[in-house]
Amino acid sequence: MDMNPDWVDDNKPDKIAPHEKPGFQNQVESRLVLNFSGFEKSSIDNQISNLLRCGRQSGALFEFELKGPDSPPVAECAHDAACSVHAEGDDWHTNTRLVQFGWYDIVSRYDGMKFPGGAISNAAKYLAFFADGTVFRYLKASKLYFFFTIYPLVCWIVAALVSFQLASLITGSLIQPGPMFAWTTIALTIGIWLLLLKWPGDYLYLRTTIGNWGFARDLINRSNPEVEDRMVLFARRMGDEISRSDHDEIVIAGHSFGSVWAISALSLALKERPGLLDNKKVRILALGSSHLKVALCPKAGWMRRQLEHVLKEKTIYWHEFQSKDDAISFYKADPFKPAGIDAPAGGYSVYYVRFKYGLTVERYQRMKRSLYRTHCQYVRQNDRPVSYDFGLRLFGPLDAEELAEKPELLTDWPNVKAGQL
């Protein structure tokens, strides 16, 4: 395992002299990308548009041209869509078949639940993570993720204290002490508390966060037939794409909860088609992954079995991306040990992303004001050429495993500053 730090050197030289071409060894001329988005209310069309925009910005930063559809393909269903992308630089070219898997319609049903009824339903599911002790497993795996876990609870408590103080002031100015005073204070406290959860609660992403936890609990309990059906559809499409593939490498990218969908779909596809990955080069990119969020729950034995099933494949290389900027990732956690799972047979590495080196100061500060904007930066474009660039990994000529093991190779790329790696 390679636990790369940040490849950041504060002694920043001005520039690396440009070479005729980058110093990578295994040029990828064709690639199949199977991309799974996270808990976002964004359609497949928008997801593909974001990826192409990210790729074009990568081309501007790393001096190559990206050619893709002028507009994203129209998805024939809510599950997936595909397009072809061509990238070309000096002395290299790479053709990518991009398949985007979507579940935004499911996200919308959790994130868009009516207030307060839907929020109360999801809140009960959230509190179940405390009742079964999962939250303490999060604390052991990653302190940063533990703080994200208790974030809604802390907000509720603060809102309750503020609500009680305001209710007491209002009641005290209108009613003399007595039974009516107590009941009125309680009623006003509840009313003000609900108002605070609505605003500034929505501004603080409380409803989205609780919806995320509600989905997680239903996923763990396997209590949502729509999720189960979608997983089967994903597995079939994934199996079809991989079986037809003769690409140099297959990249399975999963952002946040997308990693859970990717793992489960791949496990189901392998169960249906043993030998599916024979003679294939498969790289899993786990970006701010939520697989431990599920796997650490006592009731998620099915997830741990699926993860073990996938990791036994010797043709799979796992590349994990975490960031201390991102409270929604399991920063500094081993991707497998906390769940009692052996390391991947095909190898793995963990890369700690420093978003600030790829963004302007203004954009970095704006990103840091939002938990979710920060969490989504793994799959967004950069402003500067740095070693963590999502578009370069999807559409560029670099072998994902080689880049994972030797990110310093990018210092041979024109315009890359060594201090920004």
Same domain, 252 and 348: yes
Spatial neighbors of 107 by CB under 8 A, at least 6 apart, are 39, 40, 41, 211, 215
Same domain, 296 and 404: yes
Between CA 283 and CA 265 the distance in angstroms is 15
Between CA 162 and CA 195 the distance in angstroms is 11
Which residue carries 């310093």 as its tokens?
408
Same domain, 148 and 293: no
**pLDDT tens digits in sequence order for the chain, 421 residues long:** 444 434 333 323 323 233 344 556 678 999 999 999 999 999 999 999 999 999 999 999 999 999 988 766 655 566 899 999 999 998 899 999 999 999 999 999 999 877 877 888 999 999 999 999 999 999 999 999 999 999 999 999 999 999 999 999 999 988 888 888 899 999 999 999 999 998 898 889 999 999 999 999 999 999 999 999 999 999 999 999 999 999 999 999 999 999 999 999 999 999 999 999 999 999 999 999 999 999 999 999 999 999 999 999 999 999 999 999 999 999 999 999 999 999 999 999 999 999 999 999 999 999 999 999 999 999 999 999 988 999 999 999 999 999 898 877 777 676 665 445 4
Exposed/middle/buried for 131, CB within 10 Å: 0-12, 13-18, 19+? exposed
**Nearest in space to 321 (alpha carbons), one of 349, 344, 287:** 287
Look at residue 108 and tell me if it is in a domain. Answer: no
> Letter for the amino acid at 402?
E
Same domain, 258 and 352: yes
Task: Give the phi and the psi of residue 31 in degrees, each rounded to 5.
Answer: -145, 140
Q: Please count the structural domains in the chain.
A: 2
Same domain, 317 and 254: yes
Boundary of a domain, candidates 179, 206, 233: 206
Same domain, 152 and 266: no
Same domain, 391 and 306: yes
Q: CA torsion 387→391→396→402, rounded to 10°?
A: 40
Give the CATH number, domain containing residue 57.
Answer: 3.40.50
Same domain, 412 and 279: yes
Same domain, 120 and 84: no
Spatial neighbors of 59 by CB under 8 A, at least 6 apart, are 65, 66, 87, 391, 395
Between CA 144 and CA 166 the distance in angstroms is 32
- Helical ranges in 252-354 per DSSP H: 258-272, 291-295, 301-311
What is the gyration radius of the CA atoms in the chain, in angstroms? 23
Between CA 81 and CA 51 the distance in angstroms is 13
In the chain, the largest separation of any two C-alpha atoms, in whole Å, equals 85
Tokens of 99: 């398949």
